[in-house]
């Protein structure tokens, strides 16, 4: 074979971004499509190993290291970028196109980073490039949401940097491998990863900002940031039991919010946290089967969650509305989008023969095998719940339910094509999982299609659907209402500013009172002294001759002179 130069995968994307900034029209479209295709073809031929390494100060930096774990994320990021670029071909907004290319490149840079410093650089680049996809919406809401997003993302990066410095001090190396939760470095890096991974209480940047981004921006955003975090956890903290509990919490709590949320893209944002929860549980269990499950679920999630965001983006693009309360009956004029959305919904709900099933079942099986009974029950509940809010609610309120009277047509062909590619992948992986399994880091010989699994999952899902039907017939299903639901972000968007305002006004008042009291005393003092010593012979009205002043100056100068001699 011919000698081949291994180009770091982020490079084609960064170059593509540069070209996209200066080209327009069809030429730009061709270049933007060509970048992920060529880069993926190149990546497919790159062997495992360290491909770029150099010394920096006292440390060994490895900007390009490839193994099975990073390849999995590398491949899916190429697929995601390719689909998202096709989906956004109609967009005439250079800022978005450039930001998307840079963002995808940063994600690739992060998953192939072999040391913590390189990881940190791409970690921050992810934040700075992606925020433009939110700001590109060009509304006040998007602007402030983007600001909050940026602050939290940068905070995560700063914590990562601090952790990396501690790590270098502890271990004398910056290599990015297994870290584990011992020592300050371990915890700091864990928290940094956790913020980007949308751990509970650090999850609101996601539900806050993603639904405010542009139609195409949200599709791209959903693919990279959280998956990079999952990758980082899988590399540095496999088998950390704490992750099992955090992940289980992540699968459960968002579904409650998703059920009552009106903005359908925000529903998907909550369901994104729920899906990432399954991956985090898999990483936490840490067996070969569980890690395989976590990684393959990340792979599938990028595609089916992208598909769902694309269908909701199509609805927003064509109707200008995204609230469940404003939509309904769209199947009549958007039949293709409806079918594609149902494919995405079936995949995320893990119906047999769809992609979610072949990966999620691995995490569930691993939880049972390792004796995490209660966690398994929580995951089962979350599986039913995700079907309820993402599998039924999204298609139902957008395309069926009551007729909203909106008669929007299916979106432009490029959007339909992008959704079709994603939908075909969802079904292909579901029908023939062996192709996906062959790419996984471990060989476990797992088969998702045995009678037990298929029957159990189908029963669970159909009876969840039955619950939906029953609640609707009884009129107990919560209607879609125009509303904002408070979540943890209330603490920093309302409570904290309000508390700060009150505290500062209190301090200001206290300060005012103290100053006034002091001034009053001081005034009294002055009056007293001036009273005491007023008059011609008083202390304050005595006159001194100029001569004595000169004498004192002479004394001071003499002392200076003396001191300089002493030295």
Partner 1 sequence: MDNEKKYFFDNARNIKRMMHVFYAICIILVLLDFVIHRHVVHSWENLWGFYPLYGFVGCVVLVLIATWMRTFLMRGEDYYDNEGATAADKKQNKEVGGHDVDA
Q: Which two tokens stand for residue 325?
A: 């309360």
Phi-psi region of 374 (alpha: psi -120 to 50; beta: other; left: phi over 0): alpha
Q: Which residue in the set 187, 400, 449, 488 belongs to the binding site for partner 1 (CB under 8 A)?
A: 400
- Per CB under 8 A, does 395 bind partner 1? no
Q: Which residue in the set 456, 500, 507, 557 belongs to the binding site for partner 1 (CB under 8 A)?
A: 456
Which residue number, 391 or 433, has a Cβ lying nearer to partner 1?
391
DSSP symbol at 539: G
Is residue 267 within 8 A of residue 421, CB to CB? The reply is: no
Q: Which residue in the set 27, 41, 68, 139 belongs to the binding site for partner 1 (CB under 8 A)?
A: 139
| CA 292 – CA 363 distance, rounded (Å) | 8
Q: Residue 402: what are its φ and ψ, rounded to 5°? A: -80, 155
- Per CB under 8 A, does 476 bind partner 1? yes
Q: Shortest distance, CB of residue 490 to partner 1, whole angstroms?
A: 9
Q: Shortest distance, CB of residue 527 to partner 1, whole angstroms?
A: 48
C-alpha distances out from residue 546 to 75, 295, 543, 559, Å: 91, 90, 9, 21
Q: List, in sequence order, every residue forming a beta bridge with 210; answer none if it has no partner.
A: none
- Per CB under 8 A, does 470 bind partner 1? yes
DSSP symbol at 477: S
Footprint on residues 144-173 left by partner 1 (CB under 8 A): 144
- Per CB under 8 A, does 374 bind partner 1? no
Which residue number, 452 or 564, has a Cβ lying nearer to partner 1?
452
425: Cβ–Cβ under 8 A, 6 or more apart, which residues? Answer: 79, 303, 355
Footprint on residues 50-109 left by partner 1 (CB under 8 A): 91-93, 96
- Per CB under 8 A, does 138 bind partner 1? yes
Footprint on residues 9-48 left by partner 1 (CB under 8 A): none
Footprint on residues 211-240 left by partner 1 (CB under 8 A): 214-217
Q: Which residue in the set 33, 37, 260, 417 belongs to the binding site for partner 1 (CB under 8 A)?
A: 260
The SS3 call for residue 421 is: helix
Q: Shortest distance, CB of residue 502 to partner 1, whole angstroms?
A: 16
Q: Which residue in the set 478, 536, 542, 566 belongs to the binding site for partner 1 (CB under 8 A)?
A: 478
Q: Shortest distance, CB of residue 54 to partner 1, whole angstroms?
A: 41
- Per CB under 8 A, does 373 bind partner 1? yes
- Per CB under 8 A, does 316 bind partner 1? yes
- Per CB under 8 A, does 297 bind partner 1? no
- Per CB under 8 A, does 314 bind partner 1? no
| CA 388 – CA 525 distance, rounded (Å) | 76
Phi-psi region of 174 (alpha: psi -120 to 50; beta: other; left: phi over 0): alpha
Is residue 46 within 8 A of residue 65, CB to CB? The reply is: no
Options 38-46, 228-236, 436-444, 486-494: segment touching partner 1 (CB under 8 A): 486-494
| CA 153 – CA 169 distance, rounded (Å) | 25
Q: Which residue in the set 98, 104, 384, 394 belongs to the binding site for partner 1 (CB under 8 A)?
A: 384
Options 121-129, 210-218, 274-282, 516-524: segment touching partner 1 (CB under 8 A): 210-218
Q: Shortest distance, CB of residue 431 to partner 1, whole angstroms?
A: 20
| CA 189 – CA 67 distance, rounded (Å) | 21
- Per CB under 8 A, does 321 bind partner 1? yes
Options 8-16, 137-145, 269-277, 418-426: segment touching partner 1 (CB under 8 A): 137-145
- Per CB under 8 A, does 484 bind partner 1? yes
| CA 331 – CA 399 distance, rounded (Å) | 5
DSSP symbol at 175: B
Q: Shortest distance, CB of residue 382 to partner 1, whole angstroms?
A: 9
Is residue 318 within 8 A of residue 409, CB to CB? The reply is: yes
- Per CB under 8 A, does 495 bind partner 1? no
| CA 153 – CA 536 distance, rounded (Å) | 72
- Per CB under 8 A, does 141 bind partner 1? yes
Which residue number, 476 or 556, has a Cβ lying nearer to partner 1?
476
| CA 197 – CA 232 distance, rounded (Å) | 9
- Per CB under 8 A, does 488 bind partner 1? no
| CA 179 – CA 201 distance, rounded (Å) | 23
Token pair 């029953």: residue: 470
Q: Shortest distance, CB of residue 453 to partner 1, whole angstroms?
A: 9
- Per CB under 8 A, does 447 bind partner 1? no
Q: Residue 200: what are its φ and ψ, rounded to 5°? A: -50, 140
| CA 423 – CA 144 distance, rounded (Å) | 34
- Per CB under 8 A, does 449 bind partner 1? no
Is residue 241 within 8 A of residue 287, CB to CB? The reply is: no
- Per CB under 8 A, does 545 bind partner 1? no
Is residue 69 within 8 A of residue 48, CB to CB? The reply is: no
Is residue 175 within 8 A of residue 62, CB to CB? The reply is: yes
- Per CB under 8 A, does 292 bind partner 1? no
Which residue number, 62 or 457, has a Cβ lying nearer to partner 1?
457
- Per CB under 8 A, does 452 bind partner 1? yes
Number of residues in contact with partner 1 under rule CB under 8 A? 71
Q: Which residue in the set 140, 438, 537, 564 belongs to the binding site for partner 1 (CB under 8 A)?
A: 140
Q: List, in sequence order, every residue forming a beta bridge with 66; answer none if it has no partner.
A: 49
Taking the mean position of all CA atoms in its chain, how far away is CA 66?
23
- Per CB under 8 A, does 505 bind partner 1? no
- Per CB under 8 A, does 242 bind partner 1? no
Q: Where are the beta strands (DSSP E) in 187-301?
A: none
């Amino acid at each position: 074979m011919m000698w081949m130069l291994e180009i770091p995968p982020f490079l084609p994307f960064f170059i593509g971004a540069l070209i996209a900034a200066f080209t327009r029209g069809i030429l730009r479209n061709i270049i933007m499509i060509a970048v992920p295709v060529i880069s993926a073809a190149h990546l497919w031929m790159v062997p495992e190993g360290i491909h770029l390494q150099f010394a920096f100060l006292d440390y060994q930096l490895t900007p390009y290291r490839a193994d099975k774990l990073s390849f999995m994320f590398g491949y899916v990021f190429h697929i995601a970028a390719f689909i998202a670029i096709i989906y956004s071909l109609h967009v005439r907004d250079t800022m978005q196109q450039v930001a998307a290319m840079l963002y995808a490149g940063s994600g690739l840079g992060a998953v192939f980073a072999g040391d913590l410093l390189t990881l940190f650089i791409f970690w921050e680049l992810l934040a700075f490039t992606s925020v433009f996809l939110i700001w590109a919406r060009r509304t006040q809401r998007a602007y402030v949401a983007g600001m909050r997003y940026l602050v939290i993302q940068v905070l995560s990066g700063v914590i990562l940097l601090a952790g990396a410095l501690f790590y270098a001090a502890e271990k004398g190396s910056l290599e990015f491998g297994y870290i584990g939760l011992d020592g300050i470095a371990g915890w700091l890096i864990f928290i940094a990863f956790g913020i980007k991974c949308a751990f509970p209480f650090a999850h609101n940047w996601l539900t806050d900002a993603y639904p405010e981004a542009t139609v195409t921006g949200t599709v791209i955003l959903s693919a990279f940031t959280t998956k990079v975090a999952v990758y980082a956890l899988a590399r540095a903290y496999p088998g950390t039991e704490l992750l099992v509990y955090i992940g289980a919490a992540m699968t459960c709590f968002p579904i409650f919010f998703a059920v009552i949320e009106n903005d359908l893209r925000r529903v998907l944002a909550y369901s994104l946290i729920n899906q990432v929860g399954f991956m985090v549980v898999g990483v936490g269990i840490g067996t070969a089967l569980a890690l395989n499950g976590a990684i393959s679920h990340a792979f599938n999630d990028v595609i089916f969650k992208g598909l769902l965001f694309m269908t909701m983006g199509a609805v927003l693009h064509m109707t200008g509305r995204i609230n469940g309360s404003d939509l309904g009956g769209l199947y009549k004029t958007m039949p293709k989008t409806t079918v594609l959305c149902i494919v995405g919904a079936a995949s995320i709900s893990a119906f047999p023969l769809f992609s979610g099933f072949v990966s999620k079942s691995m995490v569930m099986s691993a939880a049972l095998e390792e004796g995490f009974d209660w966690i398994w029950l929580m995951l089962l509940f979350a599986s039913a719940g995700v079907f309820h809010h993402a599998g039924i609610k999204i298609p139902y309120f957008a395309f069926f339910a009551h007729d909203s009277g909106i008669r929007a047509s299916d979106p432009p062909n490029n959007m339909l094509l992008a959704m079709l590619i994603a939908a075909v992948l969802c079904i292909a992986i579901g029908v023939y999982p062996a192709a996906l399994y062959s790419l996984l880091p471990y060989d476990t010989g797992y088969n998702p299609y045995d009678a037990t699994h298929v029957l159990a999952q189908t029963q669970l899902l159909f009876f969840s659907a039955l619950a939906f039907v029953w609640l609707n017939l009884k009129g107990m299903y919560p209607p879609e209402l125009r509303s904002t639901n408070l979540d943890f972000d209330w603490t920093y968007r309302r409570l904290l500013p309000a508390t700060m305002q009150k505290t500062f006004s209190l301090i200001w008042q206290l300060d005012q009172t103290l100053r006034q009291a002091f001034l009053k005393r001081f005034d009294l003092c002055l009056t007293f002294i001036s009273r005491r010593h007023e008059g011609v012979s008083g202390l304050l009205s005595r006159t001194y001759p100029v001569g004595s002043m000169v004498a004192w100056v002479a004394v001071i100068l003499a002392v200076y002179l003396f001191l300089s001699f002493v030295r």
